[in-house]
Amino acid sequence: MAVLFLLDSYPDGNGFACKDASGHGQRAGFCGGIAVFRGRLLHQNLPGFAAGIVDGILGAAFGSFLLWGLAVAYKMVRGHEGMGMGDVKMMAMVGAFLGLRGTFLTLLAGSLLGSVIGVSVILSLYLGGWKRGLAKRASRRGLGSVSALRWAIANQYQLPLGTFLGIGALAVVYGEPLIAARWVVFRGIAG
């Protein structure tokens, strides 16, 4: 499972898009995740294996449809694609393996990690003077101040969401039992 997460979260040659061509691995992961005995959701009303299947299906549907809806809404508002379908397929695989709770925690951890690193990268690019020459040339042509142009250029930098979702999934897989065992406060959330 960890190998599938790592392989799927590695960006392709473009440097920011996750591989969309790994559909075979994702389908195998989806089927394997559903087949894994999970018994967390509805375990009082359903037999263990059936509860695991329902949990995997709900997790796959929640993660993939949420990201798909966000991608469609972004494209409608901005007029261009902001997220590829590889991230959607990856969340379907993560949801099949980790269930509904694990999918939610993966989205939360991956988005939080991506936001913190993304803001740090943009600030470091801006403060480090990335593409300063381009901003100076544009400023001489009357397109704005150098500082505003540098900020606009740094804001266009793209980071892959799938990489952070993969790291978030691994954090949920390996960190959830540790958090639930050590901190009683998080036991209802993480375990």
Q: What is the pLDDT of residues 108-154, one digit of tens each?
A: 999 999 999 999 988 888 888 888 888 888 888 888 888 888 888 87
Residue 172 covered by a domain: yes
Q: How far is Cα 61 from Cα 91, in angstroms, rounded to an integer?
A: 9
- The CA-CA-CA angle for residues 73, 76, 81, to 5°, reads 85
Predicted pLDDT of residue 156? 79
Q: How far is Cα 58 from Cα 99, in angstroms, rounded to an integer?
A: 7
Residue 133 covered by a domain: no
Please say if the pLDDT value at position 23 is more than 60: no
Residue 1 covered by a domain: no
Q: Total domain count for the chain?
A: 1
Residue 51 covered by a domain: yes
Average pLDDT over residues 165-185: 82
Residue 153 covered by a domain: no
Query: What is each CA distance from 139 to 124, 128, 146, 150, in whole angstroms?
Result: 21, 18, 6, 10
Other Cβ atoms less than 10 A from the Cβ of 10: the count is: 14
Residue 113 covered by a domain: yes
**Per-residue confidence at 3, pLDDT binned at 50, 70, 90?**
low
Q: How far is Cα 74 from Cα 157, in angstroms, rounded to an integer?
A: 17
**Per-residue confidence at 168, pLDDT binned at 50, 70, 90?**
very high
Positive or negative CA dihedral for 71, 74, 78, 83?
negative
Predicted pLDDT of residue 122? 86
Other Cβ atoms less than 10 A from the Cβ of 101: the count is: 19
The DSSP call for residue 44 is T
Query: What is each CA distance from 112 to 21, 108, 154, in whole angstroms?
Result: 26, 6, 20
Residues 6+ away with beta carbon under 8 Å from 126 = 150, 151, 154
pTM exceeds 0.85: no
Residue 101 covered by a domain: yes
- Domain of 35, in residue numbers: 22-127+160-190
Average pLDDT over residues 152-164: 84
Report the first-to-last Cα separation within the chain, whole angstroms: 19
Residue 13 covered by a domain: no
